[in-house]
Every structure is written in C-alpha cells, then in structure tokens.
Amino acid sequence: MTRTRSAARRTAGRTLLASALLAAAVAVPAAVPAAADAPREATAGATVTDETVTQESRLVDDFYSAYIDAVAAEDGGDLATALRGFYLTPELRERLARWEASNHADGVLLAQDVPSDHLVTAGHSGAGHTWSTVRLTWGSPQDPTYTYLTVRSDLATGKISAIRDGA
C-alpha cells in the first residue's frame, strides 16, 4: 500500500485524521473494542486473508501518518502521546518507554530525528498477528535515504504490538 501526497495536503489530512480518532476515542471509549470485532467487508477479488492484512496495514499507515506529523509539530507532544495510547498495546508502550530511556531516541521511529515521509507495505499474517514493513524516508527528495521497520499488529484488536528494526 502506498500513499503519495503533497506535504501540505498530507499534513492537513493527517491532522484531521488524528483529531477525528482522538475525538472518537474520548467520546466513545467503550465502542473501540466493539469496532475492532466488527466484521470487515472484503473488496472485490480479495481473499479474506488479504483483506485482513490490508486493513491492519492501513491502520499502521494511519498511525505513522499522524504520528510523524505530531512529532514534527512544535507542540505535538500531547497528540503523539495520545496516538500511542490509541494505536499501541500497553505492553508495547512500556517496552518503548524502556527502550527510549536507554537509547535517548523515539521508539516508534527508532530514531532521534523525524522522517520526511513513510511508506507501509503489507506483509504476512499468522498466529493472530500481521506484519507490515514501514519504510521511513530521510533527507531531501533529491537525495533520500531509507530505514525500514517491521511492525506487528494483533488481528483481534488491530493494535500495534511490536516495532523492530527491519534491517
């Protein structure tokens, strides 16, 4: 799955998405588990497994889109924390806090800086999880460099449960 947009349009879309998700999480916290358990509609020609992977990868993409914008914003710390609370499992948040204390870097990005863009590619599923590859883009468009993360999502909840260096 790819998402290519201009920076201004991407920032506006991510901000609106993050605001809507946070408003929904605050207004109806009890509805979140029910929504995660709701049946998913299959797209034409897609198998159920493909659709599940696509849906989870879409959630990973939504998270990284909003999170990168929040971290890049001058006053986005509260939003970044709220996004972590909404998208990440409590266990992952605890592991990230320990990792960040040891490494003095952002555990979601596994970096001290903020990437200029990202790309999420759906991976395989098994044992109640699905994996996605997140390519983070660094530097200028004329001379980009990339790092890769492997992100695990729980199929039952849709929440991100692991982030590791994909290299």
Query: Residue 122: what residue type?
Result: A
- Six-digit token string for 143: 């001379």
Are 131 and 151 a contacting pair, CB within 8 Å?
Answer: yes
**Dist CA 150 CA 135 (whole Å):** 9
pLDDT of residue 56: 76
Query: Residue 82: what residue type?
Result: A
The whole-number average pLDDT for the span 43-67 is 66
pLDDT tens digits, one per residue of 7-53: 544 555 555 455 544 544 444 343 334 444 433 333 333 333 344 44
DSSP 125: E
The whole-number average pLDDT for the span 52-74 is 86
Query: In the chain, what is the greatest distance between 2 CA atoms, to the nearest angstrom?
Result: 47
DSSP H or E run through 102: helix 90-103
pLDDT of residue 17: 52
pLDDT of residue 49: 39
- Six-digit token string for 128: 């109640």
pLDDT tens digits, one per residue of 99-141: 999 999 999 999 999 999 999 998 888 888 999 999 999 998 8
Edge-first strand listing for the sheet containing 144-154: 117-126, 129-139, 144-154, 160-165
Distances in Å between the alpha carbon of 61 and those of 55, 101, 137?
10, 26, 14
Decide: residue 66, CB within 10 A, 0-12 exposed, 13-18 middle, 19+ buried: buried
Higher model confidence: residue 49 or residue 70? 70
pLDDT of residue 44: 36
Are 73 and 12 a contacting pair, CB within 8 Å?
Answer: no
